[in-house]
Amino acid sequence: MPPAHKVRSLLASDTHLVLAPGMRRTAQRTQVYNAIVGLGGHCTADEITAELHKTKPGFPRSTVYRALDALTASGSVYAAHLGEGATYYELATGDHHHAVCQVCGGVLHIQEELVSELESHLQEGHHFKPLRTEVLVVGICDSCSRSPSPRAARRRTIDAHVHFS
């Protein structure tokens, strides 16, 4: 990963915007960041724009994209490619790996320990040194597998950090 991504943008429970050294804090970047906080993460640029339009009706979509590029480059925001379609943005509180339900779009965060085990296996068993690991598992969540009716395609967070034995 580029060095900027190594900058941890948030303290453990702090939701204040912290940028990489040398990166300017602009009003627009702060507003986009705060919109992501308000939306709870896993939101698209269009959802962020709609949220900003509630208080700033003329906020340009192009400014949202430029701010997202800067926030992603600084390590403050993580851009998640959750299967097909739009990119989803969330606060960069550490490495993020996801399992996504293809029916309802629900998102499960995969525990970092499981990914670390995979990286260790690759290093020890195959002499392969991971430089960057991105995990995306697409499947069907428990709720959707029990229900025959299709669900709305609104992303939600499924009980985080749960795995079954």
Question: What's the pLDDT tens digit per position in 44-89?
Answer: 999 999 999 999 999 999 999 999 999 988 888 888 877 677 888 9
The CATH number that domain 95-165 falls under is 3.30.1490.190
Read off the DSSP letter of residue 64.
Answer: H
Q: What distance in Å separates the CA atoms of residue 62 and residue 22, rounded to the nearest whole number? A: 23
pTM above 0.85, yes or no: no
Element (H, E) at 51: helix 45-53
Digit-coded pLDDT (tens) for 129-162: 887 777 778 888 888 888 766 554 454 555 544 4
Please, are residues 7 and 20 in contact by the beta-carbon 8 Å criterion? yes
Residue 68, classified by CB atoms within 10 Å of its CB into exposed (0-12), middle (13-18) or buried (19+), is buried
Please, are residues 10 and 29 in contact by the beta-carbon 8 Å criterion? no
For all residues of the chain together, what is the average pLDDT?
76
Q: What distance in Å separates the CA atoms of residue 141 and residue 52, rounded to the nearest whole number? A: 31
Per-domain residue ranges for the chain?
3-91, 95-165
The CATH number that domain 3-91 falls under is 1.10.10.10
pLDDT at 36 over 50: yes
